[in-house]
Amino acid sequence: MKVLVPVKRVVDYSVRVRVKADGSGIDLNGVKMSMNPFDEIALEEAIRLREKGQVDDVTALSIGPRTVQDTLRAALAMGADKAVHIELPADTPIDSLAVAKLLDAIVREDGYSLVLLGKQAIDTDLGGTGPMLAGLLRWPQASFASELTLIDTHLRVVTETDSGLRTLELPLPAVVSADLRLNTPRYASLPNIMKARSRPITVRTPAELGVDVTPRLRQRAVSPPPARAKTAIRVESAADLVRSLRAEGALK
């Protein structure tokens, strides 16, 4: 059984991003890039399934310019068996629908039984790719998984909802998106990082896969959020705080 884990290269979660002065986007100059943390969790889960002997092969896949190969090397160092790079020219915008179509084409070609991916990327915060891919494949889906068990030919998945938890059973093949609490991803060891440098990466293109990646959305402007132009008032006691909150109507 083969598992596909799409991994996205994004601005590291610890970086406070800056908007470019001309409003044309985020300033990525010299900014630390990493694997999307939710994809890292998805990859960890796939590797654990392989370590339990329930999965034979874990393939990491990334879409973008040459630089996404860094992310694929990180995936190989963590324990992915194979890496696929769908190459786009530098600075090509791509939206979730096109990503889902590329993944759909790869899944149909290479015969995966499970796609495990992050619930959202922390740059666009959209979370469209998983459900879109499941729709294109007409496969069952589970979003925001916090627990996953593979039993023969089906998955038991506990997912996080707005009011608690929901347990679903999905026949394979299926698409599952990983939430924070699914696991804690491992760190790659130095020897594995070194070994990953010389591992092969299969390079494909959208044209080969017959997918039109023309964006359906145009980003017109990016701006910083309005600042909270307030200086905090220091309070010294409960009575002080309650008086202030009542005075401004925050407490009735």
State which of positions 10-49 bind other proteins (CB under 8 A).
11, 13, 16-17, 19, 26
Q: Which of 128, 172, 199, 204 binds other proteins (CB under 8 A)?
A: 128
> What residues between 191 and 220 interact with other proteins by CB under 8 A?
215-220
Q: Which stretch binds other proteins (CB under 8 A): 45-53, 61-69, 106-114, 234-242?
A: 234-242
Give the E-state strand segments of 30-101 in sequence order.
33-35, 57-64, 82-87
Q: What are phi and psi of 208, to 5 degrees?
A: -55, -35
| Count of residues near other proteins by CB under 8 A | 78
User: Could you give the CA distance from residue 153 to residue 171 in angstroms, rounded to a whole number?
Assistant: 6
Contact (CB, 8 A) for 23 and 222: yes
Q: Which of 96, 106, 116, 182 binds other proteins (CB under 8 A)?
A: 96
Residue 89 parent element (H or E): none
Count of other CB atoms within 10 angstroms of residue 247: 9
What residue type is 235 in one-letter code? V
Binding of other proteins by 245 (CB under 8 A):
yes
For residue 225, the minimal CB distance to other proteins (Å) is 6
Q: Which stretch binds other proteins (CB under 8 A): 46-54, 62-70, 192-200, 227-235?
A: 227-235
Cα–chain center distance at 103: 14
Q: How many CA atoms lie within 13 A of 77 on its CB side?
A: 21
> What residues between 49 and 78 interact with other proteins by CB under 8 A?
none
Binding of other proteins by 179 (CB under 8 A):
yes
Structure tokens at 69: 């190969």
Q: Tell me whether residue 53 or residue 164 sits nearer to other proteins (CB atom).
A: 164
Q: Which stretch binds other proteins (CB under 8 A): 45-53, 185-193, 202-210, 242-250?
A: 242-250
Q: Tell me whether residue 154 or residue 195 sits nearer to other proteins (CB atom).
A: 154
Task: Provide the b/e sequence for 73-87 (b: ≥16 CB within 10 Å).
Answer: bbbbbbbbbbbbbbb
Structure tokens at 249: 């109507």
Structure tokens at 28: 């990525």
For residue 182, the minimal CB distance to other proteins (Å) is 11
Binding of other proteins by 93 (CB under 8 A):
no
For residue 78, the minimal CB distance to other proteins (Å) is 21
Q: Tell me whether residue 167 or residue 189 sits nearer to other proteins (CB atom).
A: 167
Binding of other proteins by 152 (CB under 8 A):
no
